[in-house]
Structure 1
Amino acid sequence: MDLYLKGKTAVVTGASKGMGRAIAKELAREGVKVFATGRNEELLSSLKDEIIESGGPEPIIFAQDFVASNGPDDIASNAFSKLSNIDILINNAGRTRPLDVDGPDDEWKEAMTLDFDRHRQLTQRFLPHFIGRKQGSILNIISTYELRSVNASAVAKASITVWAKQLAGQLGAHNIRVNCIQPGLIDTDNIRPLFAGEERKSFASREIPLGDFGDPQDIANMAVFMVSQRARYITGTVAVVDGGMRHFPF
Structure 2
Amino acid sequence: MDLKLSGKVAIVTGASVGVGRAIARSLAQEGSRLVIVARGKERLEAVADALAAEGFERPLVLALDITQPDTPSVVRAAVLEAFGTVDILVNNAGGSRPFEGLGTARQWEDAMALNFHAARELTHALIDDMRSRRFGRIVNITGGDEPVAINGAVPPNGATHIWAKALSRHVAKDGITINSIPPGRIHSEQVDNKLLPTDEAQRRWVEENCPAGYIGEPEDLSALVAFLCSPLARYITGQVIHVDGGARRFSH
- TM category (shorter chain) comes to over 0.9
Kept in 2: contact 1:131–1:174 (CA 8 A): yes
Aligned to 2:239: 237
Kept in 1: contact 2:145–2:157 (CA 8 A): no
Alignment RMSD:
1.1
Aligned to 2:12: 12
* Residues in 2 aligned to 1:212 and 1:17: alpha-carbon distance in whole angstroms: 21
Kept in 2: contact 1:142–1:154 (CA 8 A): no
Say if 2:195 is the partner of 1:194: yes
Kept in 1: contact 2:177–2:238 (CA 8 A): yes
* Residues in 2 aligned to 1:147 and 1:191: alpha-carbon distance in whole angstroms: 19
Kept in 2: contact 1:168–1:178 (CA 8 A): yes
Shift of 1:145: 2.6
Compare 194-203 and 38-47 and name the one that shifted more: 194-203
Aligned to 1:138: 138
Aligned to 1:165: 165
Say if 2:246 is the partner of 1:224: no
Kept in 1: contact 2:175–2:234 (CA 8 A): no
Say if 2:135 is the partner of 1:155: no
Kept in 2: contact 1:146–1:246 (CA 8 A): no
Shift of 1:102: 1.5
Kept in 1: contact 2:130–2:136 (CA 8 A): yes
Shift of 1:75: 1.7
* Residues in 2 aligned to 1:146 and 1:157: alpha-carbon distance in whole angstroms: 9
Shift of 1:146: 3.2
* Residues in 2 aligned to 1:129 and 1:6: alpha-carbon distance in whole angstroms: 19
* Residues in 2 aligned to 1:202 and 1:242: alpha-carbon distance in whole angstroms: 16
Kept in 1: contact 2:191–2:197 (CA 8 A): no
State the TM-score, normalizing by the size of structure 2: 0.96
Question: Which stretches in structure 2 are left out of the alignment for 5+ residues?
Answer: none
What CA deviation, in whole Å up to 9, does each residue of 1:106-140 have, x standing for no partner? Answer: 00000001111111111111011011111111111
Aligned to 2:36: 36
* Residues in 1 aligned to 2:188 and 2:83: alpha-carbon distance in whole angstroms: 30
Kept in 1: contact 2:9–2:86 (CA 8 A): yes
Aligned to 2:79: 79
What CA deviation, in whole Å up to 9, does each residue of 1:166-194 have, x standing for no partner? Answer: 00111011111111111101111122212
Kept in 2: contact 1:12–1:92 (CA 8 A): yes
Q: Which amino acid aligns with 1:217?
A: E
Q: Secondary structure at the match of 1:68?
A: coil
Q: Secondary structure at the match of 2:242?
A: strand
* Residues in 2 aligned to 1:47 and 1:102: alpha-carbon distance in whole angstroms: 37
* Residues in 2 aligned to 1:105 and 1:130: alpha-carbon distance in whole angstroms: 36
Number of positions where the alignment pairs a residue of Structure 1 with one of Structure 2: 250
Q: Which amino acid aligns with 1:142?
A: T
Kept in 1: contact 2:179–2:237 (CA 8 A): yes
Question: Which stretches in structure 1 are left out of the alignment for 5+ residues?
Answer: none
Say if 2:25 is the partner of 1:25: yes
Aligned to 1:105: 105
Identical amino acids, percent of aligned pairs: 35
State the TM-score, normalizing by the size of structure 1: 0.97
